[in-house]
Amino acid sequence: MSTPTYHRFETIIVGSGGAGLMAALHSSKEVGTAVVSKLYPMRSHTGAAAGGIAAALSNLEEDSWENHAYDTIKGGDYVVDQTPVEILCREAVECIYDLEHMGLPFDRTPDGRISQRRFGGHTRPVPGNPSKREPVMRSCHAADRTGHMILQTLYQQCIKQGVTFFDEYHMLDLIMVEGECRGIVAIEIATGRLHVFHAKSVLLATGGFGRMYKVSSNAFALTGDGPAIAYRHGIPVEDMEFYQFHPTGIYRLGVLLTEGCRGDGGIMFNGKGERFMETYAPNMLELASRDVCSRSIYQEVRAGRGVSGKDFVYLDIRPSTINKYKSSPIHRDGLEVDDHFIESRLSESLELSRTYLGIDPLKEPMPIQPTAHYAMGGTPTDFDTRVFRNAAGDVVPGLYAAGETACVSVHGANRLGTNSLVDLVVFGRRAGKAMARYAKSHDFKEIPKDAAVPTKIMIEGALAKPRTEPWVRIRDELQVVMMDDCGVYRTAEGLANARQTVASLKKRYEATGIQDKGTIFNTGLLEYLELGCLIDLAAATVASAESRKESRGAHSREDFPDRDDVKHFNHTFATKDGDLDVKIDTRAVDVIYIEKDGQQVPKYPLEVRKY
């Protein structure tokens, strides 16, 4: 391979989704900033986000950031760091107005304010009866293309601001010197040339790793490259056992039908035509949190009440059904939902159903099943997005993480819908500012001349090895075992099987090479390297799930069905220990105390989580 090309920027952002672009925008206001992304920015997965972005604006109903914080902590089944949650919910409001001023075309109320819709787990105390809670309209939206609009808006601002973009450059390594991060190594996909990016601060904003599972709402590029590469450098991953399954994936395909369908009144029915959420969440019904809804679907299917005895149920957004149950927000004004209401607010979902299922949701219900969706875990950070090197909270100088890649940790054991987009913009902005501060107060430090050599060896090794079997087969087997044994429900036996299977897949992966030996647009090589990332993260996920012997949020152990606040009210830190061994540590949850009757008591006391 030829000599790597050298670049120098004060800050390097890896990833051009919502988190990366927000960080780039704010960093570039102060220092020279470049974004390195394996996809063109507009193809980043943030563009798929449909339903909305949460902020307690009180535009349609009285609300407060404190309500939002309460819901986020309860939604996360309490293993949520409370200081960053308060930051998230307070700064959310400011960030929405920032986005609006940048030109984001939010939907409007008739009097011109930003429109909001309901989403699962977002509540407020019932006016006049504060001991009870009711769903609240907190999700700001641009039809069901909110993420796409966020990307468009931020990208335009970044261009205006003079951010340098390296599109279709794939990061393969971090440059770590004496425990500090001083840059990255990336491959230019079009030419196969290696590039060394020397920087004062680096942000990992590489998104999630939902391709670890067979049925997934995530695009092919979501392979956890950022956390996996950091993990190989001894940086832990946090709370990997908490992986969210979204209840309304299109049957068999996993393609997502936004929670906005239920927020706007859609109802789920089992094969007997029963509205089964009445049994599992009598108060919030379809707007219970995602983990509760996904488990409810599994329970119905297990009890033989799937549609036609199969493993799916129905999501019904026909106006006639919504009107019958009077479950849409517009019923509060005595109005009825019609085709136009559904078309104008859920056009993407209608299109997906018509395209992939051949079903017109205005006329028929849609078959759905839970789909792997969102990583609550990832690279651990503080609330300025600085990466932790260990469970004690020591930081890695120069390294930052934000967005789905990171675990800050505001989502705990289960993220609420619309809380990811707001996490991207709040902590993306914090990341940009913190990185610029760091860059301005530090000089460039030297990097080794051979910084790209380990990457070169890795690539040449993959190209030189004989192809003993197709790597795609290894990926398929990984996705199946993770889905079956480390999915919605888990047991000790299943997890042990997953651990052994992942270990043997790793051996097979290391033994085999790839067919295409070229350098130009060698997507086979890149997908093979992405699979390596997924395998390492799968090992950390399984080990974390084995260590948590309780059920909490998205982590449901059939052998430990209860939440155990005595032993497990903490975060899990998984660190690579040898080739596949994983060392598990724990870190205390950040709890805010307040004074009450002369005593220090938790501001958000632990409660039994019911909806």
Ligand X SMILES: Cc1cc2nc3c(=O)[nH]c(=O)nc-3n(C[C@H](O)[C@H](O)[C@H](O)COP(=O)(O)OP(=O)(O)OC[C@H]3O[C@@H](n4cnc5c(N)ncnc54)[C@H](O)[C@@H]3O)c2cc1C
Beta carbon nearer to ligand X, 202 or 284: 202
Beta carbon nearer to ligand X, 522 or 551: 522
How near is the Cβ of 52 to ligand X at its closest, in Å? 5
Binding site for ligand X (CB under 6 A): 14-20, 36-39, 44-46, 48-53, 146-147, 170-171, 205-208, 217-218, 221, 225, 256, 258, 374, 403-405, 418-421, 424
Beta carbon nearer to ligand X, 256 or 534: 256
> 234-255 burial, b if ≥16 CB within 10 A, otherwise e?
ebbbbbbbbbbbbbbbbbeebb
How near is the Cβ of 229 to ligand X at its closest, in Å? 7
- Choose, from 182, 290, 305, 386, the residue flagged as catalytic: 290
How near is the Cβ of 425 to ligand X at its closest, in Å? 10
Kindly list the strands in the beta sheet with 237-238, ordered across the sheet, starting from the edge strand earlier in the chain.
Answer: 237-238, 570-577, 581-588
Beta carbon nearer to ligand X, 69 or 205: 205
d(CA 3, CA 190): 16
* DSSP letter for each residue of 441-467: TS------TTTTHHHHHHHHHHHHS--
Q: Are 217 and 256 in contact (CB under 8 A)?
A: yes
Give the chain's length: 611
Q: Which of 445, 472, 452 is nearest to 531 (CA)?
A: 472
145 is catalytic: no
**Cβ neighbourhood burial of 363 (10 Å; 0-12, 13-18, 19+):** exposed
* DSSP letter for each residue of 114-182: BPEEEEEEEEEEETTEEEEEEEEEEEE-STT-HHHHHHHHHHHHHHHHT-EEEETEEEEEEEEETTEEE
Beta carbon nearer to ligand X, 167 or 565: 167
Which residue number is nearest to ligand X in terms of Cβ?
Answer: 17
d(CA 611, CA 103): 36
How near is the Cβ of 606 to ligand X at its closest, in Å? 25
Helix (H, G, I), strand (E, B) or coil at 585: strand
Beta carbon nearer to ligand X, 205 or 554: 205
How near is the Cβ of 69 to ligand X at its closest, in Å? 16
Q: Which of 149, 305, 278, 147 is nearest to 217 (CA)?
A: 147
Beta carbon nearer to ligand X, 121 or 403: 403
Q: Which residues are catalytic?
A: 290
